Amino acid sequence: MRALVAKRVDRGVADLAEITDLAEAAGHEVVATLTQTREEDAAYHFGEGKADELAALVVESDAECVIIDNEVGPYQTFNLGRKLPEDVEVIDRFTLILEIFGQRAHTRKAQLQVELAELRYELPRAEVKASLAQRDERPGFMGLGEYDESRERDIKSRISRIETELDDIADKEEERRQRRRESGFDLVALAGYTNAGKSTLLRRLAADLEMDENADQHPDLDETAESEDRLFTTLGTTTRRAETGKRDVLLTDTVGFISDLPHWLVESFQSTLDSVYYADLVLLVVDASEPVPEMREKLVTCHDTLYERNEAPLVTVYNKVDQLTPKELREKREALSALAPNPIEVSGLTGQNVDELRARIEAELPDWRQERMLLPLSDEAMSLVSWVHDNGHVEREAYDEEGETVTLEFEAPPSVVEQARARAGELGPGVEAGSI
């Protein structure tokens, strides 16, 4: 669809880069642009003169829709629409984002989250839309729809049902996370703004490993993660297995952040963000090729979102450093040292410093416990030894000369150590176990 992109700012110069990217991500062709610097007009959002200019530009460029990089109220949408040709639609920033989300929602969870966001956006507008629709002779004018007095009640009922289903999904995902931890996996989440290169980095970290997880137990595990240069390639979560050394790590790539997301939209994707909140470690991926002011703004927004509920360590990853000179990278690191005091600098595209990132991941993960066990030799004991090898890191495995006992020294997550002790206790007399 041919689109005119417009933006109003209270002061300064309006930047259309992000909204243009969003429009193209939704499949629109941007054929014209318009900006204005002034306080918001209650009737038209833009000043009325600028609204007339917008209408003329729509006709001149043969645009089929107007995309406004602001939140535009129903009354303002109605008034702008009356200045435009009848078949031209007005779309604000958040309607566009929801349009993109809807196109990328391929799982039941993602589809529910998109519908929830749409309903939360619609709810406060339902009554306003009704009165506006009744004021115009064209049914469904500007997508307002015909009014049904039960619409608001239906929206609230549907929101409640979706929230219940998403809660059920979240409970199952929490059970899955616990099973993974009990199996010796550390959970690492990739967070950050859209197009920071999270999916490319995920592929780089896990590209040499094949999935061996049970698909029924872990339905979100995927052997591939898209890494296209477009916004919101990853809407749901993609989890892949990687090794960083001693540890078995599950990496989860989550939906990218974007500027100026309202509270209702963030809340609608709460169950996706749980993958970040409940991780053992968060990698905050930042596009280091962007200007310092943009990097700073995005770091602040990410910190505000992540630190609200997340208790896991957070490591800032400056990605795309292949696009910078050493001097440029050093200057950016110094300028942002207060927000990212000890970042790691990598290129997911070329693989630069990815091995250092693997080592950093392992160093930042919660400490494992060291354990020593003396076990009487038996088939059950050897089964336990094999299980510890699979779920921890064995430092020493030694058998006495008589072939009656085996000594096992290993590191593992606390949950694995406790399970190993429980299994050892079932082997009968002669078992010794304790921390090193």
With CA atoms as reference, report the closest residue to 347 among 234, 188, 200: 200
Q: Please tell me whether 272 is known to bind a ligand.
A: no
With CA atoms as reference, report the closest residue to 393 among 422, 413, 407: 413
Amino acid at 57: L
Q: Residue 131: what are its φ and ψ, rounded to 5°? A: -65, -35
Q: Please tell me whether 353 is known to bind a ligand.
A: no
Distance of CA 427 to the CA centre of its chain: 45
DSSP E strands: which ranges in 193-298? 238-243, 248-253, 281-287
Q: Please tell me whether 346 is known to bind a ligand.
A: no
Check residue 172 and give its pLDDT.
86
Copy the structure tokens of residue 147.
């009014």
Q: What does the alpha-carbon distance between residue 308 and residue 326 come to, in Å, rounded to a whole number?
A: 34
Q: How far is CA 120 from CA 113, 144, 158, 162, in A?
A: 11, 16, 10, 11
Q: How far is CA 195 from CA 191, 260, 262, 353, 388, in A?
A: 11, 16, 20, 20, 39
What residue has token string 């990212």?
340
Q: How far is CA 116 from CA 73, 113, 376, 410, in A?
A: 19, 5, 57, 47
Q: How far is CA 210 from CA 28, 184, 290, 406, in A?
A: 37, 18, 34, 32
Q: In DSSP terms, which residues pair with 2 in a beta bridge?
A: 29
Q: Please tell me whether 193 is known to bind a ligand.
A: yes
Amino acid at 284: L
Tell me whether residue 215 is exposed, middle or buried, using C-beta atoms within 10 angstroms of its C-beta: 0 to 12, 13 to 18, 19 or more: exposed
Is beta strand 369-376 parallel, antiparallel or unpaired with respect to 432-435? antiparallel
Q: Please tell me whether 255 is known to bind a ligand.
A: yes
Q: Please tell me whether 350 is known to bind a ligand.
A: no
With CA atoms as reference, report the closest residue to 343 among 299, 280, 297, 291: 299
Copy the structure tokens of residue 58.
């729509």
Q: What does the alpha-carbon distance between residue 197 and residue 195 come to, in Å, rounded to a whole number?
A: 5
Q: Please tell me whether 192 is known to bind a ligand.
A: yes
DSSP state of 264: H
Length of the chain (residues): 436
Tell me whether residue 80 is exposed, middle or buried, using C-beta atoms within 10 angstroms of its C-beta: 0 to 12, 13 to 18, 19 or more: buried
Q: Please tell me whether 307 is known to bind a ligand.
A: no
Check residue 247 and give its pLDDT.
81
DSSP E strands: which ranges in 178-306? 185-192, 238-243, 248-253, 281-287
Q: What does the alpha-carbon distance between residue 130 and residue 251 come to, in Å, rounded to a whole number?
A: 46
Amino acid at 51: A
Q: Please tell me whether 403 is known to bind a ligand.
A: no
Q: Please tell me whether 321 is known to bind a ligand.
A: yes
Distance of CA 60 to the CA centre of its chain: 39
pLDDT in tens, the chain (436 residues): 999 999 999 999 999 988 998 899 889 999 999 999 999 999 999 999 999 999 999 999 999 999 999 989 888 988 999 999 989 999 998 889 888 888 877 778 878 888 988 898 888 777 666 665 555 544 444 444 454 557 788 899 999 999 999 889 888 877 877 777 766 688 898 988 878 998 889 989 885 444 333 333 344 444 444 444 444 444 557 788 887 877 888 898 876 777 666 666 666 666 666 777 778 899 999 999 999 999 998 898 888 877 666 667 899 999 999 999 999 999 999 999 999 999 999 999 999 999 999 999 989 988 888 999 999 999 999 999 999 998 888 999 999 988 889 999 998 888 889 889 999 999 888 888 888 7
Q: What does the alpha-carbon distance between residue 245 and residue 355 come to, in Å, rounded to a whole number?
A: 10
Q: What does the alpha-carbon distance between residue 276 and residue 305 come to, in Å, rounded to a whole number?
A: 10
Q: In DSSP terms, which residues pair with 34 in a beta bridge?
A: 6
Query: Using alpha carbons only, what angle is made at residue 235 by residues 230 and 240, rounded to the nearest 5 degrees?
Result: 100
DSSP string, 315-369: EEEEE-GGGS-HHHHHHHHHHTTTT-SS-EE--TTT-TTHHHHHHHHHHHSPPPE
Q: What does the alpha-carbon distance between residue 1 and residue 389 come to, in Å, rounded to a whole number?
A: 57
Q: Please tell me whether 310 is known to bind a ligand.
A: no
User: With contact defined as beta carbons under 8 Å apart, do 8 and 40 qualify?
Assistant: yes
Q: Please tell me whether 325 is known to bind a ligand.
A: no
Q: Please tell me whether 322 is known to bind a ligand.
A: yes
- Would you call 10 helix, strand, or coil by DSSP? coil
Q: Please tell me whether 199 is known to bind a ligand.
A: yes
Q: Please tell me whether 234 is known to bind a ligand.
A: yes
Check residue 218 and give its pLDDT.
40
- Would you call 22 helix, strand, or coil by DSSP? helix
Q: What does the alpha-carbon distance between residue 390 and residue 383 come to, in Å, rounded to a whole number?
A: 11
Q: Please tell me whether 349 is known to bind a ligand.
A: yes
User: With contact defined as beta carbons under 8 Å apart, do 298 and 18 qualify?
Assistant: no
Check residue 130 and give its pLDDT.
61
